[in-house]
Structure 1
Amino acid sequence: MPGPVEDERPTSPHVELADDRPKSPHVELADDRPPSPHVELADDRPKSPHIELRDDRPHENGEEKSSPGMRNSKGWDGKLRVDRTAVLANPEIFSDPESDDENVHRGEQLPADEDLLDDEDPETDEIIVSHARVESISALRLERFCHVARLCLRQNSIQHIEGLSALAETLQDLDLYDNLITRVRGLEALTHLTHLDLSFNKIRHIRNIDHLTELKELYFVANKISRIENLEGHPHLTCLELGSNRIRTLENLEPLQNLEELWVAKNKITSLSGLAGLPRLRLLSIQSNRIRDLAPLADVPQLEELYISHNAIEDLTGLASNKKLRVLEISNNAVSSVAGLAPLDLLEELWASYNQIDDFAEVERTLRDKANLTTVYFEGNPLQLRGPAVYRNKVRLALPQVSQIDATYVKT
């Protein structure tokens, strides 16, 4: 299941992008995904949304990180966290040059790209060719396969989207994560797509997808996008991920009347205005931006989960209208009082590490009556730092309904 901040962990809640790619090129076609929930194989993300909260932080002799982990249906919360041993096809994404299209390094194309799928069953409904240095989609001769619903070409050296029209009648899920794509083209015939992942590429503009009217999930994580635009004609879109881009304003979202999840962490967003036209939005992930004022969230009273760590928030009173909130993640801000949480009777999890909270009495007054509250994180606040030996016991006495205090389970 942290103004701008260095991204040493996914902005609390965090995500680790493990390097589970094959060490030598090969094709995987087996479907070992769980029946409903994130995809294994080359695709390490779950296929249906869930949040996974875990705490892998050292607590005794090691350095503590600011909050536990979270992942959504695609294993991403908008924060860029890559294992140190991982090798990306697109390493330039870690830099932020204004223009580096001219410096794109062409991947080494295997002499036999066109033979990679020769042993594959022509009746297969899923093709996965990951980390195989494929440069040309056309070279794979996909027209041989008439029933493909899911195509995953992750972590290759593809620069252009082409050679897919033969799959137009059956293709629903297209994954081109971590390639060298600079422009969204070549999707004209794919009108049945429900899932499209173009994360970790070099795309600057959201374009040429308005005809994909059946899309449910759309991923543009870690590109070079500076503006939210051209999202008209997506009545079924429920999840939009734009984390780690160059976006400054939440805009042009009104056409997405069925949007439930918006992930925009690690951008340059200064205001929460622009969400009023999203009547079904229940999850907002906007960590590591430049947010100071929570008042605009009154326009989304149906919000259930808010992840807004690593911003510049001092006051929580702006949440008074968000009475459906169940999960609130505000770590690494400048909050000194939790009094603003008094109206949130449905609160289940509060992640408030590394703020300025120092009053146990106020914590008890505000949170003791929250019957559903199971998890609180207050580490790194003055109320923990000035008495670490007695801190957890004091929280237990103040909030007897809680079963987890930071990484410690206090009830079985």
Structure 2
Amino acid sequence: MSAEDQTPNGSAHTNGTGSKPSTPQSSKSGWDGKLRVNKQAVLANPEALSDPDYSDEDAPPVEQIDADEDLLEGEEPETEHIELPSTCSSALVELELYDNLIKHIDGLEDFTELRSLDLSYNKLKHIKNVSTLKKLDHIYFVQNRISAIENLEQLTELVYLELGANRIKEIAGIETLTKLQSLWLGQNKISELKNLSTLTSLRTLSIQANRLTSLSGIETLPQLTELYVSDNRIPSLEPLAQNTKLEILDFQSNPISSLTGLENLTELENIWASSCEIEDFQEIERVLRDKKKLEEVYFEGNPVQKSGPVLYRNKVRLALPQVSKIDAAYVKVG
């Protein structure tokens, strides 16, 4: 399964409906960069309305009341397990079981030829029983209930790991995945960039719609070419000064008012900065005019656009004559 075929909020898993009409169309890797987080008042835990098994780990403990009788005695358990014929174990290389009711990863221990495993849109709470699947190079566990990255240490052939739309609070347990090229962690509860320095092959990192208040730690990944950190609470781009190989940078919907930190990022091609706090066209020109490879920029929703929407696009074009696309609209270069 490729990134284009998937969905979720802040991950790579489909071309779902984005909330920003001018969100970039696609990146080099084929992902459209859309946040897929509705810009409206929503419940923090909407799944609680429709999911009888929902539990919020941050909530206070609920008083337990002993039942008078076991009303489910003799009934088949609701939990869905993975059951596959053992005759497939030596030949199966790709398994997709997304959008089911699977609560446990089991029954796959002997499927040692697997290279791609997709259990997205299920009810997994833990990553378990995968240590024997040492040939896995792609994992998709999007939109589950996973709260920790665990039991992946032995899967050293992984190049693609997608855990978007879960309940993960900390980046951990992936230090041994030195071949990993793409890591998608959008729409979790991550507040800090850490334990990334050993991922020397990583090229794409997505931590959209999390709880980041700083980009500190990103300097341990100077080889990154794509970074997606939109919908966080990041105030400064200064930690990016050492990430000189970045080609695509998405920091939409953050309280960022300055482009300081991007001065030496000469490889930049796409900058997505919609709905930030940039209010000075001179700042845009100062930092980006010399970026010869820059093709598209997004500044819609910033003060520079809201204070003068009629002249805004023309001013951006004059400041950045090399750019061919401004907020999803193509412009004449030069």
- Tell me whether the two structures share a fold, i.e. TM-score over 0.5: yes
CA shift for structure 1 position 339: 2.1
**1: CA distance, partners of 2:80 / 2:136:** 23
Task: State the partner residue of 2:15.
Answer: 16
Aligned with 2:55 (options 98, 103, 106): 98
CA shift for structure 1 position 69: 5.0
Change (3 A) 1:224 1:70: farther
**2: CA distance, partners of 1:405 / 1:174:** 40
Q: Is the 8 A contact 1:158 1:181 kept in 2?
A: yes
Q: Secondary structure at the match of 1:174?
A: strand
Task: State the partner residue of 1:279.
Answer: 200
Task: State the partner residue of 2:23.
Answer: 67
Q: Secondary structure at the match of 2:139?
A: strand
Task: State the partner residue of 2:165.
Answer: 244
Q: Is the 8 A contact 2:271 2:297 kept in 1?
A: yes
* 1:323 is the counterpart of 2:279: no
CA shift for structure 1 position 65: 4.0
1:256-314 per-position Cα deviation (integer Å, ceiling 9, x unaligned): 11000000000000001111111111100110001111120011111110000000011
Superposition RMSD in Å: 2.9
Amino acid at match of 1:67: T
Task: State the partner residue of 2:329.
Answer: 408
Alignment of 1:82-161 (within 5 A): 97-98=54-55, 159-161=80-82
1:134-182 per-position Cα deviation (integer Å, ceiling 9, x unaligned): xxxxxxxxxxxxxxxxxxxxxxx99111133111121100000001110
Q: Is the 8 A contact 2:24 2:33 kept in 1?
A: no
**1: CA distance, partners of 2:294 / 2:182:** 23
CA shift for structure 1 position 255: 1.4
Q: Identity over the aligned pairs, expressed in percent? A: 47
- Matched residues, number: 298
Given the two structures, how large is their TM-score scaled by the length of structure 1? 0.67
Give ranges in structure 1 of 5+ residues lacking alignment. Answer: 2-8, 19-55, 58-63, 83-90, 100-156
Amino acid at match of 1:203: L
Change (3 A) 1:274 1:312: same
**1: CA distance, partners of 2:30 / 2:290:** 35
Q: Is the 8 A contact 1:310 1:331 kept in 2?
A: yes
**1: CA distance, partners of 2:11 / 2:111:** 36
**1: CA distance, partners of 2:101 / 2:125:** 12
Task: State the partner residue of 1:265.
Answer: 186
Task: State the partner residue of 1:48.
Answer: none
CA shift for structure 1 position 72: 9.5
CA shift for structure 1 position 73: 7.7
Q: Secondary structure at the match of 1:364?
A: helix
Task: State the partner residue of 2:290.
Answer: 369
* 1:380 is the counterpart of 2:294: no
Task: State the partner residue of 1:37.
Answer: none
Q: Is the 8 A contact 2:12 2:184 kept in 1?
A: no
Q: Is the 8 A contact 1:242 1:265 kept in 2?
A: yes
Give ranges in structure 2 of 5+ residues lacking alignment. Answer: 39-46, 57-77
Task: State the partner residue of 1:202.
Answer: 123
Q: Is the 8 A contact 2:227 2:249 kept in 1?
A: yes
Task: State the partner residue of 2:67.
Answer: none
Q: Secondary structure at the match of 2:161?
A: strand
CA shift for structure 1 position 203: 0.6
Given the two structures, how large is their TM-score scaled by the length of structure 2? 0.82
Alignment of 1:293-308 (within 5 A): 293-308=214-229
